[in-house]
């Protein structure tokens, strides 16, 4: 059996990394993991259970005790809680805002890191988030950082039906003490605006295949 491969895709909110990751996973036949959805699931759970998101200790305790497990639906790996998949509830603005809060808690990130690394049990992955190439799978040879101007990212979010203060989220992500958003060592920066997403994905596929050929020589 071949060793699973991880394609790490990082970048700020609204950069289009989720769309690129989905199309890339389809092209490669890899499983996809959207790590932001995991943090939003914790935010959803805490808000459902009336847990104060500003209480780091309470959130950490919830993260340690909740009955969350990984499941595969089609080619996507997701977190479910008590057998429940929150689904579209994760798109609500208050859930996204809560995710930004829980993501700053170091012990929560430790829990998420262990869970995200265990996704390899499902096989080769396209994993997207904000710290995949720096903290979750820093050892992978396949790292991308997807970026776009704030205005373009804001427009994408609106088209997705998501209301989010991206400037505020960028600041929180880049300044947090635990695994801040940054481009990983050896990552390739892809400017994802002003062209079709298929073109962006084709560029990424070309880079991946080139590196895979180099590794097999």
pLDDT at 139 over 70: yes
Of 59, 58, 65, nearest to 43 (Cα)? 59
Q: Which of 157-161, 182-186, 206-210 has the highest mean pLDDT?
A: 206-210
pTM score above 0.95: no
pLDDT value, residue 174: 83
pLDDT at 1 over 70: no
Are 174 and 150 within 8 A, CB to CB? no
* Mean pLDDT value across residues 58-87: 94
pLDDT value, residue 70: 96
Give, for 173, the enclosing helix (H) or strand (E). helix 166-175
pLDDT value, residue 121: 95
Report residue 217's pLDDT band, with 50, 70 and 90 as the boundaries: low
SS3 per residue for 52-114: CCCCHHHHHHHHHHCCEEEEEECCEEEEEECCECCHHHHHCHHHHHHHHHHCCCHHHHHHHHH
pLDDT value, residue 100: 87
Domain regions of the chain by residue span: 6-216
pLDDT value, residue 213: 82
Report residue 125's pLDDT band, with 50, 70 and 90 as the boundaries: very high
Higher pLDDT, 169 or 34: 34
pLDDT value, residue 176: 77
pLDDT at 43 over 60: yes
The full DSSP string for 10-50 is E--TTSSHHHHHHHHHHHHT-EEEEHHHHHHHHHHHHHHTT
In CATH, the number for domain 6-216 is 3.40.50.300
The overall average pLDDT reported for the chain is: 91
Report residue 127's pLDDT band, with 50, 70 and 90 as the boundaries: very high
pLDDT value, residue 216: 67
């Amino acid at each position: 059996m071949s060793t699973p491969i991880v394609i790490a895709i990082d970048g700020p909110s609204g950069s289009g990394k989720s769309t690129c990751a989905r199309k890339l996973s389809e092209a490669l036949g890899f499983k996809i993991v959207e790590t932001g959805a995991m943090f939003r699931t914790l935010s959803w759970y805490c808000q459902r259970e009336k847990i104060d998101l500003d209480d780091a200790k309470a959130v950490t305790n919830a993260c340690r005790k909740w009955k969350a497990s990984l499941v595969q639906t089609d080619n996507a790996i997701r977190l479910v809680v008590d057998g429940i998949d929150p689904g579209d509830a994760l798109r609500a603005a208050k859930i996204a805002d809560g995710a930004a809060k829980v993501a700053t808690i170091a012990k929560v990130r430790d829990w998420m890191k262990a869970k995200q690394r265990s996704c390899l049990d499902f096989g080769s992955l396209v994993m997207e988030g904000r710290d995949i190439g720096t903290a979750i799978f820093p050892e992978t040879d396949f790292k991308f950082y997807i970026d776009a101007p704030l205005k373009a990212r804001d427009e994408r979010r609106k088209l997705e039906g998501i209301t989010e203060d991206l400037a505020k989220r960028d600041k929180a992500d880049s300044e947090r003490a635990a695994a801040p958003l940054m481009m990983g060592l050896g990552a390739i920066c892809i400017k994802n605006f002003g062209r079709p997403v298929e073109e962006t994905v084709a560029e990424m596929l070309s880079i991946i295949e080139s590196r895979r050929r180099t590794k097999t020589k």
